[in-house]
């Protein structure tokens, strides 16, 4: 137990929230905010940081400076340890996996992002490495370093070409979409990286910007280096329980969303609706779940939880991380708590104390 607790170090308070730094032997599976997540395909999500310097008005996970729901932030310091866990999952997938570095924040906030890409690129069973970013910290030196480390693709979440609207959506006066696009243009000329735009369509805000983004992607032949039939993957805005919802915005139905994409395809002559296999996604064997809903087990509290009303915990074997939810009394780090598993989907575990 003590060894597992040594894998969590309390850092400074950042944006009013405690920062916890994670390293071996703390488990890298079990929590939605950090570590490794697999959802039954060959794409393995890798989450090295929850921190975010963007503050998007539509953020589904309430990241950034204005967050009202978060209690703690996490950074995985030991990126080699994180890559080892990815490799173990890739073995289950039987090869051909993509490691997608994403997060409930901005992945590039991890100061060892270059080392993480290197470690993932050399991990057995990992064929491709990609990163998702809103782009605020992109620079040509950073992209060149990522390219040398082995990164294959950048999923760039730009939501508007208009600079004022882009700043409004990101809720950051310093955000400069023209600078980001200029950096990407240079990176396309000077590196082997591919780029794909992944905007979110926010009803009432940026529908008119999508055509501009498509034309830019078409002009710069995004997606071609990956062998994809498109360089734009448009996402649908959803109102999540702990996310942000801009005033007056009503999420579209899936029918309206797909009708919108078909209309854009007709207008631009550019493919937006693609099958998963066309962008390298396939079904793959799943990682076994050691725990199921209803299981009662002993958990060790290790620190502040990601969201208010939660604690970070680990099982006695130090094999899975847990979000301990529904906590109604103070519980100190190192305490043993008997809990019941409430959620187990995708090896992401929520448990609640039996006695509150």
**Interval 138-158: pLDDT, tens:** 999 999 999 999 999 999 999
Handedness of CA 233, 117, 28, 105 (dihedral sign): negative
Q: Please state, rounded to an integer, the average pLDDT across all residues of the chain.
A: 95
Q: What is the CATH number of domain 296-353?
A: 2.40.50
Tens-place pLDDT, residues 53-103: 999 999 999 999 999 999 999 999 999 999 999 999 999 998 899 999 999
Q: How confident is the model at residue 356 (pLDDT cuts 50, 70, 90)?
A: low
DSSP count for the chain of H helices, then E strands: 8, 16
Q: Which residue has the higher pLDDT, 37 or 4?
A: 37
CATH architecture type of domain 2-279 = Alpha-Beta Barrel (3.20)
Q: How far apart are CA 260 and CA 273, in angstroms?
A: 11
Domain ranges within the chain, ordered by starting residue: 2-279, 296-353
Question: In whole angstroms, what is the distance from residue 315 CA to residue 293 CA?
Answer: 15
318 SS3 class: coil
Alpha-carbon distance 42 to 284, whole Å? 5
- Asked if residue 329 has pLDDT above 90, the reply is no
With CA atoms as reference, report the closest residue to 202 among 233, 153, 169.
169
Interior angle at CA 305, CA 55 and CA 316, nearest 5: 145
pTM as predicted:
0.95
DSSP label of 291? -
- The tokens describing 43, both together, are 């794409």
């Amino acid at each position: 137990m003590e060894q597992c607790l040594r894998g969590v170090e309390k850092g400074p308070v950042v944006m009013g929230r405690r920062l916890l730094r994670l390293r071996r032997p703390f488990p890298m599976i079990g929590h939605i905010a950090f570590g490794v997540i697999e959802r039954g395909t060959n794409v393995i999500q890798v989450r090295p940081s929850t921190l975010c310097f963007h503050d998007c008005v539509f953020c589904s996970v309430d990241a950034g400076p204005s967050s009202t729901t978060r209690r703690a932030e996490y950074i995985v310091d030991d990126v080699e340890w994180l890559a080892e866990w990815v490799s173990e999952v890739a073995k289950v997938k039987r090869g051909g996996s993509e490691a997608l570095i994403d997060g409930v924040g901005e992945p590039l906030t991890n100061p060892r992002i270059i080392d993480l890409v290197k470690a993932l690129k050399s991990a057995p069973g990992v064929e491709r490495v990609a990163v998702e970013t809103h782009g605020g910290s992109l620079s040509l030196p950073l992209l060149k370093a990522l390219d040398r480390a082995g990164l294959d693709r950048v999923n760039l979440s730009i939501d508007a070409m208009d600079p004022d609207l882009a700043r409004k959506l990101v809720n950051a006066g310093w955000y400069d979409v023209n600078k980001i696009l200029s950096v990407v243009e240079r990176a396309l000329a000077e590196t082997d990286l591919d780029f794909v735009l992944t905007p979110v369509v926010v009803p009432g805000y940026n529908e008119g910007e999508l055509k501009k983004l498509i034309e830019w992607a078409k002009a710069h032949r995004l997606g071609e280096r990956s062998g994809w039939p498109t360089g734009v993957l448009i996402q649908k805005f959803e109102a999540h329980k702990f996310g942000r919802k801009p005033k007056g915005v009503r999420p579209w139905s899936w029918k309206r969303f797909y009708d919108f994409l078909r209309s854009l395809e007709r207008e631009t002559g550019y493919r937006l609706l693609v099958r998963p296999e066309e962008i390298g996604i396939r079904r793959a064997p799943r990682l076994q779940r050691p725990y199921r809903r209803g299981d009662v087990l002993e958990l060790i509290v290790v620190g502040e939880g990601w969201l208010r009303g939660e604690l970070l915990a680990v099982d006695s074997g130090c094999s899975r991380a847990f979000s301990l939810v529904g906590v109604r009394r103070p519980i100190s780090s190192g305490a043993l708590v008997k809990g019941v598993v409430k959620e187990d989907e995708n090896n992401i575990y929520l448990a609640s104390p039996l006695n509150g």
